[in-house]
Chains A and B, each alone.
Chain A
Amino acid sequence: MKNSKQTPYAVEMLQVVKRFSQVLAVDHADLQVKQGEVHAVIGENGAGKSTLMRLLYGFYTADSGTIRINGETVKMTDPGVAIAHGIGMVHQEFMLVPRLNALDNIILGQEPRKGLRVDRQKAREEITRLAGELGFQVDLQAEVRDLPVGVQQKIELLKVLYRGASILILDEPTAVLTPQEVDELFQMLRNLQKQGKTIILITHKLDEVMAIADRVTVMRRGKTVKTVPKDSTTSGELASLMVGRNVILDIKPPPVKPGERVLTVRNLSLQEPGSARVLVDGVSFEVREGEILGIAGVSGNGQSELAELLTGLTRPTSGEILIRGQEVTFGSVRRKRESGIAHIPEDRRNTGLVMALSVEDNLTIGHQDKPELSGKVLLKREAIGERSDRLIKMFDIRPPRRDVAAWHLSGGNQQKVIVARELDHDPQVLVANQPTRGLDVAAMEYVYHHLLEARNQGKAIVLISMELDEILTLSDRILVMYNGRIVGEFARKNADIEQIGLLMLQGREAG
């Protein structure tokens, strides 16, 4: 409730909801930001931070909920409204027109005029003054696309200040910066705070929160989980709030005694072509029969690349991959499949299925060379049909028809098609990358059931997931990946959520 004697919150978002067609991105979120504070909003990728901020900025319109700016209820229908209320935003993906120069980018939408003309002279003077106050210079004539990202970010900041914003939203501003640039940015933010600006800083790095924030709001799966003053919390607490522990499914895998070593990975590395960036950095591990090895991590830390290396979609820069002692490091996808590696890819719609083809064809791809399904020239359509019917029945694919195109199926049933196809290979190793992304609970349970069954039958499974819950539920052993490296290993019984959370978020355990 608003109290007229107190200073109102700079920003108050109450019970805000935003649904995109596929996902509920923001789910009854609350955010209260005090005037003049640096307020961090943290959460994993996909938690809904950017969407929440874009609602505040009027870039999207909320389905329901209230937004108040300095105590006044505002209908945020358009960024113009937000700008008029003194809100400015530096977006995660920079909002710059690459082929316009810095000056035009800054003034766009708020152009000073002289008659019909844009008064660029006046704009230049004003912006130069602003930049001077912040302590830097930019070449206003340069086309933005020719400027380094650090400079582009300064242009974004100038854009916001040029509009006289008093509430600044910065969406993951440090993601693109070098450590020195981060220090510089934070210094600048502290100065702005001294000038009385309110700053909302989005990040998923805990060090940064500890370095600059006054208060922190944690988001998880579209919800705002908690708001705490920085001084009364620890990195550890924030980490476990971020990665959370929602017991969605009560699954207790029966103990299985792991058998022989199936997959061995030694010192596997991948360097980004044409750059010095190392995406996968000296990764080594083993997986045994009847074992699920979970790989935890915040997305973008090399997990996808690791999956591609294991399945032959990409070739490593160095290292070895062995199946039962046989080297398959540089094998093609086909060779790897033949040696017993199956793959549930993270991108169901683009890598997993050919959406326009029928369920039958999708079940057959990758099996088309088997003698029972194909002659020398022609496919044995009858045998293919029988096999499809069998798999559709076994995996309960709905609708139970082999002739419908894959894109008619729900996400869960699409995933069943992939799981059926991959397990029908009778693989030695199954690489499952985000196997339940975007699925509802029933479909999720179904996938879990099949993964566990494969494990109980003695298959070796590498489970990659951004959902720590999923990893904790299914894995016999857990590795944590950070910046392309394995930074921690836990047996199921010693898995500690706070420790794992810290490793995922900052690569080391100490706060």
Chain B
Amino acid sequence: MSLGNVFNLTLLHQTIVQATPLLLTALGGVFSERSGTANIALEGIIMMGAFFGYAGTYYTGNPWFGIICAMAAGVVVSLIHAVVTATYKVDHIVSGIALNILCQGLTGYLLVVLFQSQGSAREFVAQLPTISIPFLKAIPVVGPVLDAVFSQGPLVYLAFILVIVSRFILDKTVFGLRFTSVGEAPQVADSLGVQVAPIQYAGVLISGLLAGAAGAQLTIGTMPRFVYLMSGGRGYIALAAVILGKWQPTGVMWSSLLFGFFFSLADNLQGTGFAIPNEIFLMLPFILTIIVVSGVIGHSEGPAHAGKPYVKEL
């Protein structure tokens, strides 16, 4: 099989599909970090979103309800993170690790209790519909191509619309300015009568909401089943995407697409008999993550106070 078969329309389509959960999570990460909270619990929140998206749909038959369940689960977990970090000033990483372990344990437990299974819930549930843009098909020549690429689920559209919305919020609104100031210098915001804790809560809860939705995209958006630990490190990769995207919504969109591209490249190469083993490509997103996080490339300054509890008096 030739390489030409790998770089095709499916690859483009898949890139967008794979980028979506990363983008949703990374946008959440932007809100959390820009308001000063490091949230590595995003990994666990994706797991929870995936599970509750699946379970909600399973019990009601309605994938829209599944999305709501997924987001709610994300908000609950992130609320714990917010209480622990913003109110009780616990180290952000410690809280995040604890929550990841909790989510891992909880989804595994619920899987056994509700679906009598150790590894995966096998029953297929209803999936979110695919939205096609009507006039695309009508365009001569490229029409069918565009249609193939852009026929995507609602969460995909949501993710890309949120890029524009987030940009507007962060750059143009009062909320955005206060957000940024809390992440950069909470004592300054505090000294001007801006309440620091509510803003930190808002940032963390937004990240939980979006990472929950990202989890739903993995189950009811892509594959109508739940597999234990199916988040597969996407929470951490999304955080690398935040860094590579320089904490900006648009930047995060491009970095998520890049990671999505690597994921789908690995998928596409699977079973092609291509000279380089598929596993190498499967590793690519993670290698890039390590490189980004270690600051070798794409290094840039994050919010100055992100990841540090704001303690006013000793």
* Residues on B with beta carbons closer than 8 Å to the beta carbon of A108: 177-178, 181, 188-189, 192, 194
B193 within 8 A of partner (CB): yes
Residue interface mask A101-131, B partner, CB < 8 A = 1: 0001101111101001110000000000000
Whether B192 and A20, one on each chain, are in contact in the complex, defined by CB atoms closer than 8 angstroms, is no
* Residues on A with beta carbons closer than 8 Å to the beta carbon of B189: 97, 108-109
Nearest-CB distance from A455 to chain B (Å)? Answer: 35
Whether B174 and A97, one on each chain, are in contact in the complex, defined by CB atoms closer than 8 angstroms, is no
Interface size class of B (residues with CB under 8 A): 20 to 34
Whether A95 and B193, one on each chain, are in contact in the complex, defined by CB atoms closer than 8 angstroms, is no
A118-B192 in contact given A20-B314, A22-B314 (Cβ < 8 Å): no
B15 within 8 A of partner (CB): no
Nearest-CB distance from A259 to chain B (Å)? Answer: 45
Whether B172 and A98, one on each chain, are in contact in the complex, defined by CB atoms closer than 8 angstroms, is no
* Residues on B with beta carbons closer than 8 Å to the beta carbon of A113: 174
Whether A118 and B174, one on each chain, are in contact in the complex, defined by CB atoms closer than 8 angstroms, is yes
Residue of B nearest to A23 (CB): B314
Residue interface mask B134-169, A partner, CB < 8 A = 1: 000000000000000000000000000000000000
* Residues on B with beta carbons closer than 8 Å to the beta carbon of A97: 180-181, 184-185, 188-189
| Residue among B173, B177, B194 having the largest count of chain A Cβ atoms under 10 Å | B177
Q: How far is the CA of A185 from the CA of B190 in the complex (A)?
A: 26
A109-B184 in contact given A83-B192, A83-B193 (Cβ < 8 Å): no
A118-B172 in contact given A79-B193, A97-B188 (Cβ < 8 Å): yes
Residue interface mask A195-236, B partner, CB < 8 A = 1: 000000000000000000000000000000000000000000
Residue of A nearest to B185 (CB): A97
A78 within 8 A of partner (CB): yes
A96-B172 in contact given A21-B314, A109-B178 (Cβ < 8 Å): no
* Residues on B with beta carbons closer than 8 Å to the beta carbon of A91: 191
Interface of B is mostly: helix
* Residues on B with beta carbons closer than 8 Å to the beta carbon of A118: 172-174, 177
A59 within 8 A of partner (CB): yes
Q: How far is the CA of A96 from the CA of B191 in the complex (A)?
A: 10
Whether B192 and A79, one on each chain, are in contact in the complex, defined by CB atoms closer than 8 angstroms, is yes
A89 within 8 A of partner (CB): yes
Whether B174 and A111, one on each chain, are in contact in the complex, defined by CB atoms closer than 8 angstroms, is yes
Whether A99 and B304, one on each chain, are in contact in the complex, defined by CB atoms closer than 8 angstroms, is yes
* Residues on B with beta carbons closer than 8 Å to the beta carbon of A107: 177
Residue of B nearest to A120 (CB): B172
| Residue among B180, B181, B184, B191 having the largest count of chain A Cβ atoms under 10 Å | B191
A164 within 8 A of partner (CB): no
Residue of A nearest to B305 (CB): A97
Partner of B177, one of A20, A21, A98, A104: A104
Whether B313 and A95, one on each chain, are in contact in the complex, defined by CB atoms closer than 8 angstroms, is no
* Residues on B with beta carbons closer than 8 Å to the beta carbon of A83: 192-193
Q: How far is the CA of A82 from the CA of B190 in the complex (A)?
A: 12
Whether A116 and B181, one on each chain, are in contact in the complex, defined by CB atoms closer than 8 angstroms, is no
Q: How far is the CA of A350 from the CA of B197 in the complex (A)?
A: 31
Q: How far is the CA of A83 from the CA of B190 in the complex (A)?
A: 12
Which residues of B (172-207) have their CB < 8 Å from a CB of A? 172-174, 177-178, 180-181, 184-185, 187-194
* Residues on A with beta carbons closer than 8 Å to the beta carbon of B185: 95-98
* Residues on A with beta carbons closer than 8 Å to the beta carbon of B187: 95
Whether A111 and B190, one on each chain, are in contact in the complex, defined by CB atoms closer than 8 angstroms, is no
A60 within 8 A of partner (CB): yes
A-B contact pairs, 29 of them (CB 8 A): A57-B191, A59-B190, A60-B312, A79-B192, A79-B193, A81-B193, A82-B193, A89-B191, A91-B191, A95-B188, A96-B188, A97-B181, A97-B185, A97-B188, A97-B189, A98-B185, A98-B304, A99-B301, A100-B181, A105-B188, A108-B192, A108-B194, A109-B189, A109-B192, A111-B174, A118-B173, A118-B174, A118-B177, A159-B192
Chain A residues close to B by CB (< 8 Å): 20-22, 57, 59-60, 78-83, 89, 91, 95-100, 104-105, 107-111, 113, 116-118, 159
Chain B residues close to A by CB (< 8 Å): 172-174, 177-178, 180-181, 184-185, 187-194, 301, 304, 312-314
